[in-house]
Amino acid sequence: MLHEAPDCHRHGVKALSELGALLGVRLIVHGHHHTQYTAVLDSGIAVVGLELAQVATLDIDLFTEAQSVKEITAVFYFGFRAKRGGGWADE
């Protein structure tokens, strides 16, 4: 879980991608840029970006069993997110 994005995001930080690869992580989740997306780093790490104050849940059992990046990102449910100026959106 990171605040800043890895380098698959246009404002991402390459050092975070490299650190994730060195640590052998399978998934990076970040906020900060307030964009919901999924991506894959060149190293094969799945990346999930979240919207402003977005709620997301992860099924830990399915994540543990996941064998591919597609399976890893599929275990997320993207829920409510904040609207700029207040309130909640469920898009």
Q: Is residue 9 part of a domain?
A: no
CA angle 2, 35, 72 (to 5 degrees): 60
Residue 85 pLDDT exceeds 80: no
Q: Note the Cα 27 to chain centre separation in Å.
A: 7
Number of domains the chain contains: 1
Predicted pLDDT of residue 42: 93
Q: Is residue 2 part of a domain?
A: no
* Span 1-40, pLDDT tens digits: 888 999 999 999 999 999 999 999 999 999 877 788 889 9
Q: Is residue 7 part of a domain?
A: no
Predicted pLDDT of residue 22: 97
pTM above 0.85, yes or no: no
Enumerate the β-bridge partners of residue 58.
76
Judge whether 27 and 72 are in contact, CB under 8 Å: yes
Residue 48 to residue 28: CA distance in whole angstroms: 6
Domain limits for position 65: 14-89
* Span 46-75, pLDDT tens digits: 999 988 888 888 888 988 998 888 888 888
CB atoms within 10 A of CB 24: 8
Q: Is residue 70 part of a domain?
A: yes
